[in-house]
Amino acid sequence: MLAISFFLGVFYVKKISERDKYPFEPLLNVAYILIIGGIIGARISYVLLHLDEFAGRWTNTFNPFGAGEFGIAGLNLYGGVILAILGAWAYCYFKKLKILQVFDIFAPTLALGIGITRIGCLLNGCCFGTPTDLPWGISFPEGTLPYAVFGGQHLHPAQIYSSIYGLALFVLLHFVNKRKSFWGQPAAILFMAEAIFRFSIEYVRYYEDAMYFTLGEFEPTYNQAVSVSLFVIGLILYIIRRKSPISKTAPTT
Tens of pLDDT, residue by residue over 223-238, are 899 899 999 999 999 9
Cα–Cα distance, 19 to 15 (Å, whole number)? 6
- Mean pLDDT over 11-28 rounds to 92
Round the CA-based radius of gyration of the chain to a whole number and report it: 19
Cα–Cα distance, 66 to 61 (Å, whole number)? 9
Please check the confidence at residue 35 and state whether its pLDDT lies above 90. no
> Could you report the per-residue pLDDT of 93-152, keeping only the tens digit for each?
999 999 999 999 999 999 999 999 999 999 988 889 999 999 999 999 998 889 999 999
> Could you report the per-residue pLDDT of 177-200, keeping only the tens digit for each?
989 999 999 999 999 999 999 999
Q: HSE-up of 69 (CA within 13 Å, CB side)?
A: 7
Cα–Cα distance, 25 to 32 (Å, whole number)? 11
Cα–Cα distance, 121 to 215 (Å, whole number)? 29
Cα angle 112-118-123, degrees, rounded to a multiple of 5: 140
pLDDT band at 84 (very low <50, low <70, confident <90, very high): confident
Domain spans of the chain?
A: 2-241
pLDDT value at residue 65: 58
Q: How many CB atoms lie within 10 A of CB 198?
A: 22
